């Protein structure tokens, strides 16, 4: 809607200090910022995973199901929760945390990029990815 684009342009003008005219992608980024709920930070996501690890040995599936979708994608599967819960705390709080955050950043970036696409382009991507998934299953 016009009001959303107008608000995004005004928000960009208020926050931009470079002095150059915005490109369409910058306005689309601003539209996403003002129309979507606040994003989960890496530390918030890791905090959720860390909490899930406390019950991860016996309740990995249950804990995995409680996580938001983007966090689930970064973790991978309930078995990862179980595996991480069995590891030394030092390894989990350093190596695993770092790897998780990198994966989470990538998943969030992909999610933001997909959200910025027009609906018809998203639909085409979903059809293509669905066909690809079916080929892998048949494969």
pLDDT in tens, the chain (139 residues): 878 888 888 888 887 777 777 888 788 878 777 777 777 899 999 999 999 999 999 999 999 999 999 999 999 999 999 999 999 999 899 999 999 999 999 998 888 788 777 778 778 877 787 666 555 555 5
Rounded distance between C-alpha atoms, residue 133 and residue 125, angstroms? 12
Cβ proximity of 24 and 2 under 8 Å? no
Q: What is the pTM of this model?
A: 0.67
Give the CA distances from residue 111 to residues 64, 71, 107, in Å, rounded to whole numbers and listed in that order. Answer: 19, 12, 6
Scanning the structure block, which residue is given the tokens 């997909």?
114
pLDDT confidence of residue 135: 55
């Amino acid at each position: 809607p016009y009001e959303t684009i107008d608000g995004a342009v005004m928000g960009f003008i208020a926050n931009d200090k470079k002095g150059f005219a915005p490109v369409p992608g910058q306005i689309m980024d601003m539209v996403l910022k003002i129309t979507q709920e606040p994003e989960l930070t890496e530390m918030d996501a890791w905090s959720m995973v860390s909490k899930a690890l406390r019950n991860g040995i016996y309740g990995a599936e249950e804990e995995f199901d409680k996580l938001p979708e983007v966090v689930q994608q970064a973790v991978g599967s309930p078995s990862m929760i179980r595996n991480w819960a069995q590891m030394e705390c030092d390894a989990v709080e350093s190596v695993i945390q770092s790897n998780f955050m990198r994966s989470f950043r990538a998943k969030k970036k992909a999610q933001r990029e997909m959200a910025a696409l027009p609906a018809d382009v998203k639909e085409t991507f979903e059809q293509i990815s669905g066909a690809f998934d079916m080929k892998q299953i048949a494969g």
